[in-house]
Each structure stands twice: as C-alpha cells, then as structure tokens.
Chain A
Amino acid sequence: MNNLQTDNAPSITVVKPHFIFAGIAFFISTVLIVLADNDLLGPYFGVKIVAITHIAVLGWGTMIIFGALYQLIPIVFETALFSERLAKINFWLFALSISLLGYSFWVNSLTGLLFYSSLLLLISLLMFITNVLLTHKSSKKKNIQSKFIITSIYWLLVTVILGTLIALNFRFAFFEKTYLHYLKIHAHAGLVGWFLLLIIGVASTLIPMFFVSHNLNEKKINYSYYFINSGLLLMVIEWLFFGTDNLAYIDWLLISTGVFLFLSFAWDSYKQRLRKNLDTGMKHTVISLLLLTVPVLISIFLLINFNIERIFLMRITTLYGFSIIFGFITSLILGQTYKTLPFIIWLEKYKKHVGKAKTPMPKDLYSETLAVYQMYLYLGALAVLTAALISNAVLLIRTGSYLLLATAIIYNINLFKIVLHKTKTEKL
C-alpha cells in the first residue's frame, strides 16, 4: 500500500521496553556515580568506574540504540525485521545480563558472577547481531547508512568477544600481557567502532530529516566511513598482533579526520535547515555534536603525554571516557528521545483517530519545560564533573554527581509521561 516505509514498522511492544529499560539504566548509573563518590577520582579501571561504564554503555546507550534500530532498520534497509520474537527474547536476556554484569563489577566479583554474566551477555548480543544481519541479507537496498550500521555491528561483535575474553581471563588467567592492554582495544572497538559509526550512520539520515535540510553532500559521510574504519583497524591490528602503539598518531589523525568530516556534514545540514527555531531535542543534539570534539582533543593530549604525573593522566583518561559516554552519547540520547519516542507512542495511540477526532500533537506528550530544565541541569553536571576530574576536587565530584542524578530524574519523569500517555481525543 502506498509504498510507505511504515508498512514494515515493527510492533510497539518490541520497541517500547528498550526505551523504558534505558531510562531506568541511566538513572541507576547516575545513582552509582553518586555512591562511587571519590572512587571516581581513582584509576579509570577501578571496579566502580567499570560498573558504571558498563551500565551506561550497555543499559543506557546500547539498549536505547537497539530499540531505535528496530524502528529504523525497516526504513533504512527497506524490509521488515527478520524476527520480532527474537528481538523480544533478546531484550529480556540482554536486560538480565546487563544487570548481572553491572552487579558483578560493582561488588568486585571478577572471578565468580562476572564469568556467567559475560557469557550471558555474549549470547544476547550474538542474538541481536544475527537478527540484524539476517534482516540485512533480505534487503535489496544498499546505501551508505546501511554500510555504517552493518560495520558498527561487526565492531560490536569485536567488542563483546574481547570483553568476554577479558572476563574469562580474570578466572583462567591466559593473557600474556596485562588485561589493560586488551581493555584499550575493547573500549575503542566499542566507543568508536560500535557507537560512533552507528551514530554517524543513523544521524546522517535523521539529522537532515529533523533539521529539514535537503541536497546535502553525502560524500563527506562516505569518506568519514573509510577514515574512521582505517584508523580503528590500524589501531586494533597493531595492538593485537604487535603489542605496540607506534602508529597511534596516525590512528588519531585518521579517526579525527573522519569525525570532522561527519561534523562538517552535520554543520551543512544545520546551516541549510528549514526550521530556524530549535526545540530542546535538537538543541541537545547540537550540544552532543559539539561535545564530540572534546574526546578528540583529550585523546591527543593523552598521546602527547607531556610527562605529567600518572595519577593525573589516569583521571584525564576517565574524563576521556566520560566525555564520550556521558557527553557525546548521553546528550544525543537525551535529545533524540524527544524526537523519536513521542512520535512512536503518538502513532500507536492516535493513528486510528486522526482525521476523525481532534488529537494532541506528539510534542504534547511530554513537558517541554521539564526538558529545558533537564538540559540546563545536564550542562551544569557536565561542566562541574569535568572540572572535578581535572582538579581532583571531591566537593565538585559530589556536586556534579547530584546534578547528573537530577538530570536523570527529570528525564525519567518525561519518559514515563510519554510511555504512560492515555489517549485523549476531542470531537472535531
């Protein structure tokens, strides 16, 4: 009918739980940040930081991306999802494994519970990867966006395999080098290969759609793909097979060039936008894109090294991860939730009423005022926590943590307002 892509849209029962779990996981990660207190100023590989990181990247970032992908894949691949049932089973298994994994890190059960939870996580991610790859197989449409999505999924596979090996190594100790050596590749495969590539692929469709800008030069996105992947591949191959990082500057240059090509594409879209007034959702998105430059700068600082004391460099390494996870990724999700979820729920509730009765608009499903508070609290949290990590100040860590917790509470109020929305119609 009508050759509309919505014909392939998945059931709301597949998508909605992902958004709910992600919101709660974000809240929990901010509670743990408050509880971790001055442990946040310790080594970046401390169990509390690792627990928070995994709950944030898996429970918050990856979970919401899975939900959004189930909605978006039919549009980008122009085919229905291979299996909705697999996606539903996957959700529960993934949710359970994240909870167990986060708990095992938090209580420092690295040789006990971590072993089982990491295997469970591996299985659930393999299920997701299989579902997406089989969906892609039946798709005739091959565009740059699907190339980004599929490649990012292979990087997710690399990330989880390395993560599982690190977890197994805690129990069976078979690595020749310290696990921190593998942690570096695990983290970059995850943050750059999985998150960054996936976000660029998805954003190159969504950003022009939300800004309403046309005739953009997709070549930049295409080149960005090759720069980022070659930089990351070079980094991983050198680390894994030669155990060195002599080419680190070249890796950095390649990946950074890719990042700036993407940002330049987003800037073109921003300049040509039809909608001059940005809502909070899009403001958060613009902030996220600006924040993407922060880890690029921090990583070159860490590479140059400057012979600064080790404990300071460790905090800056924490800041590097923080700027990607709680900066770039979190700001994007905090904004994009308002650009996607209200529309998904609105379609579910009002599709059968449109034209017959007066219906609210998608933006009426949440409070824009709360969203504005959320944005300012978030910016405050980010600034204070960054200052805390640089200056080693416990008081600032505490203040920043509570601001981030307040951000998560407000976000969740709006999130539940949207998902619990009751249908309201008036006669025309």
Chain B
Amino acid sequence: MMNTTEETKKHILELLKSVMDPEIELNIVDLGLIYNLEIEDKKINIDMTLSTPACPLGDAIVINVKETLKQHYPDYEVNVNVVFDPPWNPSLISEEGKAKLGM
C-alpha cells in the first residue's frame, strides 16, 4: 500500500503548518503545539496545547485544525484534544521555527 500511516501523519503535519498562531505568527507545528498525532481506522486524534492557557484565540486555532484536515480527509473523523499538561515552553519550538522568530 502506497499511503502508509506514517506517510499520512507526515502529510497531516505538513497541512497543519498552514495553521498559524495569529499572535506569535508562527505555525502550530513549528511552534511545538502538537503533542501527539494518532491515526486509527478513520479517525485522526490530535493532542495539542496552546502557548498560554489564557489564549483568547484557542477556539479559532482548534477550529482551524479541524477544518484544514476535513478539507483533505473528508472521510475521517478529526478529534482535537487540548491539553495543558505538560505546559508549553519555548524549548518545544523547532529549529526552523526558531529561525523564523529570530531566536
């Protein structure tokens, strides 16, 4: 089979790079907000966090994740679970992300 789970995961992460944190102006993947991604049967399960629990844009980011994936995986059920444990910290930002932020 061409499209293995690992490839799907990679593709999903690539798609999620279009979802921006509008405040930090960096995508949620490079920001390190995606904690876990599982694919089982026709379900995509994502554990993700926000850069701050008080983030007023949290709702919009979660909707953005769901809608982006629904466009490309219409037959899948997308579950997004927002967690704050462990809390996000800047060390989770990817090297690419750090470069974009000028860190």
Instruction: Please list the residues of chain A having a beta carbon within 8 angstroms of any beta carbon in chain B.
Output: 2-7, 9, 71, 75-76, 205, 208-210, 212, 214-215, 274-277, 343-344, 346-347, 350-351, 354-356, 361-363, 428
Contact = CB atoms under 8 A, between A and B. Distances in A.
Contact of A75 (B54, B90, B103): B54
B85 to A, nearest CB: 11
Contacts of B89: 214-215
A218 to B, nearest CB: 14
B96 interface: no
Nearest to A428: B71
Interface string B76-87: 000011101000
B46 to A, nearest CB: 11
Given A274-B24, A276-B101, A343-B23, 14 more contacts: A2-B59, A2-B80, A2-B82, A4-B58, A5-B55, A5-B56, A7-B59, A212-B24, A276-B102, A343-B57, A344-B56, A354-B60, A355-B63, A356-B67
A355 B80 CA distance: 14
B59 to A, nearest CB: 4
5 contacts: A4-B62, A9-B56, A75-B56, A214-B89, A274-B90
A3 B58 CA distance: 10
B67 A350 contact: no
A208 B80 CA distance: 26
B57 A212 contact: no
A274 B54 contact: no
Contacts of B70: 355
What band does the interface of chain B fall in when counting residues whose beta carbon is under 8 Å from A? 35 or more
Interface of B: 19-20, 22-25, 50-60, 62-68, 70-71, 80-82, 84, 89-90, 93, 101-103
Nearest to A76: B54
Residue from B51, B60, B67, B71 with most neighbouring chain A CB atoms (10 Å):
B60
B67 A354 contact: yes
Nearest to A208: B52
